């Protein structure tokens, strides 16, 4: 494994550089590529994609019928011609099946009369029972390009195994989680998880093609990738994607992941880009169930939490528009700095003391903490004001080091692990009430946080979400 200081650059540097990121689609509709097809969005992150041509005069209803015939999905319609069910999935409460097309900003817009709407000039249409808005699966990546049809079951259009490059740690983990590790030929230098990825880097099978904000264009091109996956949370990646595309390289720019929904959509996009849509649906179902089970049990009762990148007097901490804050809120806790910034920023020791956190979580970017003695030594470096908080007085200080530290700094596929560990250290009673044997009882986590023998991740393990990390 690489040194811990290298591992956590993504926490101390990459997280801060996200300030420069963009959160909306950066190109016009003219940038959307020429593929045509139908997305059937069943809701709850279950989506099917059927690539097909839309001949002149084809209506939205006819497109749905053709797509469903391709999949052998029965379609039931009401007497007025509206769609009642697709593949036995009836309309949801207060949400009917409807057709949607992309507007000039890359967002879905409803079509009032699908039976009279000529789809021949559309690239992608969606038939969904989710209703318009954030519940719908996006048809394009953050830069307005479709992510379908680059591959089928891990093969490029010529039938060869895919070759892909990933340029951010969170992106790399997301790709690996849906079965993409064997196809990766290049990564940024900070991608260091899972262990199978590092082994492939060390053996030379996977090349290092540059940094997070400064990937080496020539090195990426030299790998002759079928797809390059980038992070939409930073403007440099959006610019680089444009440059790659002009050189004939397919790119997928994932959305800046702040919420659980963002992550699940990114998982779907990665899976679909690799031609593993069915696998993506299955994995997302497992992730959703693990998250729902954890959040159902946890009851943090608005506990005040301070998250720090290290133990300096003015460490970086998470603001409102961050992955960390969203995780805490989903568990019922409250980030004491959620209203101070929309990103990562430096917090003074005086302000931390004024807000009197109930819990302090340290993301430790140096050596792993592997013993109670090392844990106590780290806490001895707290400034006097931190030692006068309820968190310190009540022993509610927790340290994440090594691989466990990157959990809290990367908005990627290990979200369920992050949630389960946070929930169990902040609210052990609720989990013990659910299962008296589910006792964690530790103050620090490190590379062994997901060891199958330690029992920390029961709900994540039950959904089979650790297998990709064992490769």
14 and 52 part of one domain: no
- Count of domains for the chain: 3
Domain finish residue from 93, 128, 163: 128
Look at residues 104, 5, 85 and name the one whose alpha carbon lies nearest to residue 40: 85
Q: Of the candidates 128, 157, 178, which is a domain's last residue?
A: 128
139 is a domain residue: no
- Please identify, among 219, 247, 275, the residue that sits at the C-terminal boundary of a domain: 275
pLDDT in single tens digits along all 471 residues of the chain: 343 333 344 444 444 444 444 333 333 333 445 678 999 999 888 899 898 999 999 999 999 999 999 999 999 999 999 999 999 999 877 788 999 999 887 889 999 999 999 999 998 999 999 877 778 898 889 998 888 878 989 999 999 999 999 999 999 999 999 999 999 999 999 999 999 999 999 999 999 999 998 999 999 999 999 999 999 988 899 999 999 999 999 999 999 888 888 999 999 999 999 999 888 989 999 999 999 999 999 998 889 999 999 999 999 999 998 889 999 999 999 999 999 988 899 999 999 999 999 999 999 988 999 999 999 999 999 999 999 999 999 999 999 999 999 988 888 899 999 999 999 999 999 999 999 999 998 999 999 999 988 889 999 999 999 999 986
Helices (H), 183-259: 195-203, 217-222, 235-246
Regarding whether 444 and 353 lie in a shared domain, the answer is: yes
Do residues 325 and 431 share a domain? yes
The whole-model pTM stands at: 0.88
Q: Which domain holds residue 57?
A: 33-128
Indicate if 247 and 226 belong to the same structural domain: yes
Q: Are residues 326 and 216 in the same domain?
A: no
Residues 447 and 376 in one domain: yes
Residue 245 and residue 30: Cα distance in Å, rounded? 14
For residue 324, give the CATH number of its domain: 3.40.50.1980
Please tell me whether residues 79 and 182 are part of one structural domain. no
d(CA 427, CA 432): 9
Residue 146 CB-density burial (10 A; 0-12 exposed, 13-18 middle, 19+ buried): buried
68 in a structural domain: yes
């Amino acid at each position: 494994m690489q040194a811990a200081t290298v591992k956590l650059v993504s926490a101390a540097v990459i997280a801060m550089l996200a300030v420069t990121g963009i959160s909306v689609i950066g190109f016009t509709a003219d940038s959307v590529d020429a593929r045509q097809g139908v997305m059937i969005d069943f809701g709850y992150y279950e989506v099917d994609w059927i690539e097909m041509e839309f001949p002149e005069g084809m209506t939205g209803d006819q497109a749905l019928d053709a797509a469903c015939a391709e999949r052998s999905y029965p379609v039931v319609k009401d007497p007025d011609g509206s769609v009642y069910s697709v593949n036995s999935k009836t309309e949801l409460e207060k949400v009917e099946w409807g057709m949607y097309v992309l507007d000039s900003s890359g967002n879905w817009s409803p079509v009032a009369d699908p039976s009279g709407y000529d789809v021949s000039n559309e690239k992608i249409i969606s038939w969904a029972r989710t209703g318009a808005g954030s519940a719908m699966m996006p048809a394009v990546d953050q830069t307005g390009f479709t992510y379908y049809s680059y591959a089928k079951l891990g093969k490029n259009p010529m039938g060869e195994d895919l070759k892909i490059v990933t340029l951010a740690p969170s992106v790399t983990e997301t790709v690996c989680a849906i079965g993409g590790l064997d196809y990766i030929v290049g990564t940024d230098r900070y991608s260091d998880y899972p262990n199978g990825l590092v082994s492939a880097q060390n053996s030379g099978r996977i090349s290092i093609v540059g940094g997070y904000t400064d990937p080496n264009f020539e090195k990426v091109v030299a790998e002759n990738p079928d797809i390059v996956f980038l992070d939409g949370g930073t403007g440099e990646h959006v610019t680089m994607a444009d440059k790659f595309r002009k050189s004939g390289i397919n790119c997928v720019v994932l959305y800046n992941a702040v919420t659980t929904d963002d992550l699940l959509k990114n998982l779907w996009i990665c899976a679909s880009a690799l031609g593993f849509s069915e696998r993506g649906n299955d994995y997302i179902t497992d992730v959703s169930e693990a998250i729902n089970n954890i959040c159902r049990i946890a009851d943090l009762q608005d506990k005040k939490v301070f998250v720090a990148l290290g133990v300096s007097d003015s460490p970086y901490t998470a603001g409102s528009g961050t992955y960390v804050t969203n995780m805490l809120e989903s568990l019922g806790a409250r980030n004491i700095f959620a209203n101070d910034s929309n990103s990562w920023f430096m917090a003074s020791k005086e302000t931390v003391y004024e807000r009197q956190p109930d819990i302090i979580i340290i993301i430790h970017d140096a050596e792993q903490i592997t013993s109670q003695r090392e844990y106590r030594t780290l806490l001895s470096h707290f400034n006097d004001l931190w030692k006068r908080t309820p968190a310190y007085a009540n022993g509610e200080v927790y340290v994440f080091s090594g691989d466990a530290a990157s959990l809290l700094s990367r908005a990627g596929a290990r979200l369920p692990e992050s949630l389960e560990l946070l929930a169990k250290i902040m609210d052990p009673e609720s989990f013990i009430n659910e299962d008296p044997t589910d006792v964690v009882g530790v103050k620090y986590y490190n590379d062994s946080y997901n060891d199958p023998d330690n029992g920390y991740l029961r709900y994540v393990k039950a959904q089979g979400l650790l297998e990709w990390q064992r490769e």
